[in-house]
Amino acid sequence: MKDKLIIFDTTLRDGEQSPGASMTRDEKVRIARALERLKVDIIEAGFPAASEGDFAAVQAVAETVKNSTVCGLSRALDRDIDRAGEALKGAERSRIHTFIATSPIHMQMKLKMEPEQVIEYAVRAVKRARQYTDDVEFSAEDAGRSDEDFLCRILEAVIDAGASTLNIPDTVGYSIPSEFGATIASLMQRIPNADKAIFSVHCHNDLGMAVANSLSAVMNGARQVECTINGLGERAGNASLEEVVMAIKTRHDAFNCETGLDTREILTCSKLVSSITGFPVQPNKAIVGANAFAHESGIHQDGVLKNRETYEIMRAEDVGWAANRMVLGKHSGRNAFKSRMTELGFEFHTESELNDAFYRFKQLADKKHEIFDEDLQALITEVSADAEDHFKLIALKVCSETGETPQASVTVNVDKNELTGDATGSGAVDASLKAIESIVQSGAVLELYSVNNITNGTDAQGDVTIRLAKGGRVVNGLGADTDIVVASAKAYISALNKLEDKGVKKHPQV
Ligand code: KIV
Ligand code: ZN
């Protein structure tokens, strides 16, 4: 019998700390449902003390998810823990994850605390969290750069206080696999009550070693890995869930443990997270990249045709590639549309919401006769955003001709007033965005513009991400359309709408 490796997904918390990746409550619920179908053990849904919005999102995930444990993050502060406890009340199974920094640099410069005080805070936090749930996780932030003797002392104390999971984060992605694995083995051996807790790791990817460090920790006794879909996360991201899980599955000969995940759901989760956050997946990304199972060179193709194992170590269908099928078309009816949307985790709250979405679906099906799940995901993102929008794109006219300066005329509904603006630009997209800006005058700084195709073919929808920054806030706007100029205008409007939401959100680690 192999040990169980617990998969703790933090896409909705650490993933959300990526620039502009902040998600609405409904978006978090959609991702949480997909993670539940993937059978992840624990879903870290957010940091409830960050804002009212985050609290509501964790609460909604807690009330929705039935088969995975729902977790809320809190600093080692009474108020944070109480907020997490409150937000998780409706969960079938809940976990509070509390943390405090333990490295000399974090204790001196960030916390301005003596090591003894840090231990006191940690113990007090764990005891308070235990008043809400029996499942309490403690993280020693920046453990990768902490003194091992100090780690032993604080971890022993928090186990005595009631923590059942001890997380060892490589917060700044500084560790290397041999050293990180050795630290886990040494902690497990030196801490007298180590057998009363599960050791977990949470690795960041600043040096590209997050997955390698996590796997080395597993080889040395860790039995929980914290990771995110597509490796999303603060700075260079976290260990990628799909890579960790498929490494354990594919190299079962090398690991004495297994996960309980339904890996066929991996690709759906990857596409959903990418379409909601606006972080595209690079084509050569392991497992979920468009080229991950494509055999370009003639030699490889010949080998694969003779026997797939010559070049393939995994089966594409085991991570969900085969499921990428055409689902609906021009002649599909409302019921087929509604039931596929439900399968994708989207619920219509009113009849008019369904009518609106179905109308958009028909419009898309007129332009593009094969509609894939990815197209529906993009449509859902648009429909859900539209409900509360301050700015709405009404019309766009572009004139682009070789040798002439492109011109655009755009009509936008601003708080129920239709306004039109004209502009020229270096290209059709540039002219359109300038025309929008001439109306809204946001003054926001464009930090990123990226276009990707959602599916294949020249009639595919272009998926545009636009990142805008203003007043210390960074947001990603998303737009999809078979015309990439229209998709760009939609993405710009979507980013402007997100900037309109002035809610202030605390960052847990600052
Ligand atoms: O990277 C980190 O240390 C964290 C903790 C809050 C677990 O995200
Ligand atoms: Zn982290």
- Pair (396, 435) in one structural domain: yes
The structure tokens listed for 227 are 């990771």
Using most ligand atoms within 8 A of CB, pick from 71, 74, 99 the residue to mutate for ligand 1: 99
A 10 A CB-CB count for 418 gives 12
Using most ligand atoms within 8 A of CB, pick from 12, 13, 14, 96 the residue to mutate for ligand 1: 14
Q: Ligand 1 pocket, 99 CB below 6 A?
A: yes
The region, left, alpha or beta by phi > 0 then psi within -120 to 50, assigned to residue 231 is: left
Which of 259-263, 354-358, 395-399, 488-492 comes out lowest in average pLDDT?
A: 354-358
Q: In angstroms, rounded to a whole number, what is the distance separating the alpha carbons of residues 140 and 100?
A: 6
343-354 residues labelled b (16+ CB within 10 A) or e (exposed)? ebbbebeeeebb
152 belongs to a structural domain: yes
User: What is the structure's pLDDT at 298?
Assistant: 67
Percent of the chain at pLDDT above 70?
A: 97
- Pair (450, 367) in one structural domain: no
448 belongs to a structural domain: yes
pLDDT mean over 458-484: 92
Q: Going by C-beta distance under 8 Å and a sequence separation of 6 or more, which residues neighbour residue 114? A: 107
- Pair (418, 440) in one structural domain: yes
**Ligand 2 (single-atom ion) residues, CB below 5 Å:** 14
**Total length of the chain:** 510
- Pair (357, 414) in one structural domain: no
Q: In angstroms, rounded to a whole number, what is the distance separating the alpha carbons of residues 399 and 417?
A: 25
CATH of residue 453: 3.30.160.270
User: What is the structure's pLDDT at 58?
Assistant: 98
The region, left, alpha or beta by phi > 0 then psi within -120 to 50, assigned to residue 221 is: left
Packed helices 351-367 and 334-343: angle between N→C axes, nearest 10 degrees: 100
Q: In angstroms, rounded to a whole number, what is the distance separating the alpha carbons of residues 124 and 75?
A: 11
Residue 134's pLDDT band (cuts 50, 70, 90): very high
Q: In angstroms, rounded to a whole number, what is the distance separating the alpha carbons of residues 501 and 310?
A: 53
* φ, ψ (nearest 5 deg) of residue 27: -65, -40
* pLDDT above 80 for 308: no
Instruction: Share the mean pLDDT of the chain.
Output: 93
Residue 324's pLDDT band (cuts 50, 70, 90): very low
Q: Ligand 1 pocket, 202 CB below 6 A?
A: yes
The structure tokens listed for 365 are 């099906």
Strand order in the sheet with 462-470: 445-453, 462-470, 473-481
The region, left, alpha or beta by phi > 0 then psi within -120 to 50, assigned to residue 147 is: beta
pLDDT mean over 241-262: 98
Measured in Å, residue 30 CA sits from the centre of ligand 1 at: 24
pLDDT mean over 457-462: 85
Place of tokens 């991201």: 237
> Which of 294, 349, 299, 357 has the alpha carbon at shortest distance from 321?
294
* φ, ψ (nearest 5 deg) of residue 465: -115, 130
- Pair (132, 28) in one structural domain: yes
Q: In angstroms, rounded to a whole number, what is the distance separating the alpha carbons of residues 130 and 133?
A: 5
- Higher-pLDDT residue of 170 and 294 is 170
* pLDDT above 80 for 297: no
284 belongs to a structural domain: no
- Pair (373, 413) in one structural domain: no
Contacts of range 409-412, beta carbons closer than 8 Å, 24 or more positions apart: 409/435, 410/435, 410/436, 410/439, 410/489, 412/436, 412/439, 412/440, 412/493
Q: Ligand 1 pocket, 13 CB below 6 A?
A: no
Q: In angstroms, rounded to a whole number, what is the distance separating the alpha carbons of residues 244 and 363?
A: 40
Using most ligand atoms within 8 A of CB, pick from 74, 136, 139 the residue to mutate for ligand 1: 139
75 belongs to a structural domain: yes
326 belongs to a structural domain: no
- Pair (102, 249) in one structural domain: yes
* φ, ψ (nearest 5 deg) of residue 289: -70, 150
Tell me the per-residue pLDDT of 375-390, one tens digit each, with 9 for 90 and over: 888 888 777 766 668 9
What's the number of domains the chain is made of? 4
Tell me the per-residue pLDDT of 327-347, one tens digit each, with 9 for 90 and over: 788 888 888 899 888 877 788
Which domain covers residue 459, as residue numbers?
391-500
Q: Is the pTM of this model over 0.85?
A: yes
Q: Where are the alpha helices (DSSP H) in 168-325?
A: 177-190, 210-219, 241-250, 266-277, 298-306
Q: Going by C-beta distance under 8 Å and a sequence separation of 6 or more, which residues neighbour residue 301? A: 295
Evaluate whether 174 touches 180 at the Cβ level (below 8 Å). no
454 belongs to a structural domain: yes
User: What is the structure's pLDDT at 372?
Assistant: 85
- Pair (149, 168) in one structural domain: yes
- Pair (371, 456) in one structural domain: no
Packed helices 428-440 and 484-500: angle between N→C axes, nearest 10 degrees: 30
* pLDDT above 50 for 59: yes
CATH of residue 72: 3.20.20.70
Q: Ligand 1 pocket, 169 CB below 6 A?
A: yes
289 belongs to a structural domain: no
- Pair (145, 245) in one structural domain: yes
Percent of the chain at pLDDT above 90?
A: 78
Measured in Å, residue 18 CA sits from the centre of ligand 2 at: 10
269-298 residues labelled b (16+ CB within 10 A) or e (exposed)? bbbbbbbbbbbebeeebebbeeebbebeee
- Pair (340, 407) in one structural domain: no
- Report the nearest-CA residue for atom 8 of ligand 1: 14
The distance in angstroms from the start CA to the end CA of the chain is 43
Helices (runs of H) and strands (runs of E) counted in the chain: 16, 18
Q: Going by C-beta distance under 8 Å and a sequence separation of 6 or more, which residues neighbour residue 394? A: 411, 412, 413, 418
Q: In angstroms, rounded to a whole number, what is the distance separating the alpha carbons of residues 178 and 219?
A: 10
Evaluate whether 79 touches 45 at the Cβ level (below 8 Å). no
449 belongs to a structural domain: yes
Q: Ligand 1 pocket, 135 CB below 6 A?
A: no
- Pair (368, 422) in one structural domain: no
